[in-house]
Amino acid sequence: MTRRGFVSLLAPTIAGAQDFSEVRIEKIAAGFVFTEGPVWSRDGFLLFSDVPNDVIHKWVPGEGTSVYRKPTNKANGNTFDNRGRLLSCESKGRRVVRELRDGKLEVVAEKWEGKRLNAPNDITVRKDGHIYFTDPAFGDQAEGRELDFYGVYHVTPRGEMRLIAKPEGRPNGVALSPDGRILYVNNSDERNVRAYDLDRQGVPSNERVLISDIQGSPDGMRVDEKGNLYVTANALDIFSPEGKLVHRMEFPEMPRNCAFGDADFQTLFVTARTSVYRVRLDVKGAVHY
């Protein structure tokens, strides 16, 4: 690591993707237990979860970090919808909640066919209000499970909940293509990324494995405006829209999730164990809110 918390990475330019000839990784916050669920607000700040400490933190450029919400029912993944409302996956509460403008929480999803969810993990929302989230169970989250499967779910703008898939392994990160027509779901046990085509009603079809044999257990995932996938595992692996590995970005700590932010959405914020990092890129993130 160099001065001021920066790491310089040298790599060749890759056609059609980010120019990695000189990328700097900057640590912007530290001292947490396990960071997750980063999401950038259009109001100019980053939110992220410290899951074991049961906190959602707020980081403001030039000001630092403060507590945004505590307790959180061990919130993990977070995202905003197109109305600026925060949605969070409560792993302990076994539900997905949405924060209203008055600060109150409303339940988006908590049961499937009368049984409580396992431990919602990550979430994304399309511009037209269709919600997609994963429901695995890691460690002690498996205690007292009522469902005998891991799930990937879809919640329509009308609040109708649908089961998309019951994979053998545990689904984790979830993301959308720039046009919102493809849903991506990675699987920590199978070490792959599946893709689904989405129609105008948000209904998925044509399930296929897009990426296989990821090094490490994939966790969070984002997509840039060119359709490249950013998958956190042993490192932050960047894949082309066709599923080809184009670059591997190493961090001082194992990256767990990521999100695009700043006013132009050209900064990638990465939660990595005890810290949060940022990387300035020359490509914008695909943002659906």
Give me the residue spans of the domains in the chain: 33-279
What pLDDT does 143 receive? 87
9-12: which pairs have CB atoms within 8 A and are 24 or more residues apart? 9/249, 9/250, 11/247
What pLDDT does 9 receive? 41
Using a pLDDT cut of 70, give the percent of the chain over it: 93
What's the CA gap between 169 and 26, in Å, rounded? 33
Rounded average pLDDT over 54-82: 98
What's the CA gap between 13 and 147, in Å, rounded? 47
Mean model confidence pLDDT for the chain: 93
Rounded average pLDDT over 234-255: 97
In the structure, what pLDDT confidence band is assigned to residue 71 with cuts at 50, 70 and 90? very high
In the structure, what pLDDT confidence band is assigned to residue 20 with cuts at 50, 70 and 90? low
In the structure, what pLDDT confidence band is assigned to residue 142 with cuts at 50, 70 and 90? confident
The count of residues in the chain is 289
What pLDDT does 81 receive? 97
pTM above 0.85, yes or no: yes
Rounded average pLDDT over 103-114: 97
Question: In terms of CATH, what superfamily is 33-279?
Answer: TolB, C-terminal domain (2.120.10.30)
Rounded average pLDDT over 175-196: 98
What pLDDT does 6 receive? 45
Using a pLDDT cut of 90, give the percent of the chain over it: 89
How many C-beta atoms surround the C-beta of residue 144 within 10 A?
Answer: 10
Order across the sheet with 123-125: list the strands.
123-125, 131-135, 151-155, 161-165
Report whether pLDDT(127) > 70: yes
Rounded average pLDDT over 28-54: 98
Report whether pLDDT(202) > 70: yes
What pLDDT does 154 receive? 98
What pLDDT does 21 receive? 63
Query: Under DSSP, is residue 109 helix (H, G, I), strand (E, B) or coil?
Result: strand
